[in-house]
């Protein structure tokens, strides 16, 4: 299986958010939440509207969850995610687009319903198709997948000076090299470090 790349270019990210928002606010929220939370797609897609709004219907400031990938471990710790203003704005835009806000409705509900007529979440494959369609539309040629959002979170956090040890904890990695590879720090980027030193 080939490795997917993070969304590295900030202008391309901005353009993707605009295009996704024009199509529908659900897809924009998927992208914004994935980029700004560092969550896996397997933790994003099961979310319900009630998970991201308070009792008054306003976007929450913190999201508490047990990550899907680590649920099977004996030490099932809840993870607390800060919900940035960017995510909160995307949630509010999406909720404003809905006719009725139902707390138990999947946050990323499909137009298709289950056999009982209930809303169901979009699939991982659908999320992949959404991201790839817009990425190709704006000329991104890198291999893109659902993990590209999570990797972009780490890539941009690292470039903004977030210590690698923090990212290791966020991603549950045990080795710095794993994290650097995961967030797409290439040998070329490492070589650039040598060009920045002017002592």
Q: Which domains does the chain have, with CATH numbers?
A: 10-196 (1.10.443.10)
Residue 31's φ and ψ, nearest 5 degrees, are -65, -45
Catalytic residues: 40, 69, 147, 150, 173, 182
**For residue 47, which of 90, 95, 106, 111 has the smallest C-alpha distance?**
106
HEC letters along the chain: CCCCCCCCCHHHHHHHHHHHHHHCHHHHHHHHHHHHHCCCHHHHCCCEHHHHECCCCCECCEEEECCCCCCCCCCCCCEEEECCHHHHHHHHHHHHHCCCCCCCCECCEEEEECCCCCEEECCHHHHHHHHHHHHHHCCCCCCCCCHHHHHHHHHHHHHCCCCHHHHHHHHCCCCHHHHHHHCCCCHHHHHHHHHHCCC
Percent of the chain surpassing pLDDT 90: 79
pLDDT tens digits, one per residue of 60-104:
999 999 887 765 555 667 889 999 999 999 999 999 999 889 999
**8 A C-beta contact, residue 87 and residue 36:** yes
pTM for this structure? 0.91
pLDDT tens digits, one per residue of 131-190:
999 999 999 999 999 999 999 999 999 999 999 999 999 999 999 999 999 999 877 777
């Amino acid at each position: 299986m080939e490795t997917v790349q993070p969304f590295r270019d900030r202008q391309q990210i901005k353009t993707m958010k605009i295009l996704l928002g024009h199509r529908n606010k659900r897809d924009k929220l998927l992208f914004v939440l994935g980029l700004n939370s560092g969550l896996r797609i397997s933790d994003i897609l099961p979310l319900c509207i009630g998970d991201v709004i308070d009792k008054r219907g306003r976007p929450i400031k913190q999201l508490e969850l047990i990550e899907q990938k680590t649920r099977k471990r004996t030490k099932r710790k809840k993870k607390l995610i800060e919900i940035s203003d960017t995510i909160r704005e995307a949630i509010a835009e999406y909720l404003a687009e809905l006719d009725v806000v139902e707390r138990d409705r999947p946050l990323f509900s499909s137009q298709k319903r289950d056999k009982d007529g209930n809303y169901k979440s979009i699939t991982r494959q659908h999320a992949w198709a959404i991201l790839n369609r817009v990425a190709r539309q704006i000329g991104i040629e890198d291999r893109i997948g659902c993990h590209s959002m999570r990797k972009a979170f780490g890539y941009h956090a690292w470039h903004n000076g977030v210590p690698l040890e923090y990212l290791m904890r966020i991603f549950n990695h045990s080795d710095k090299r794993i994290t650097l590879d995961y967030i797409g720090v290439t040998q070329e980027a490492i070589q650039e470090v040598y060009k920045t030193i002017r002592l």
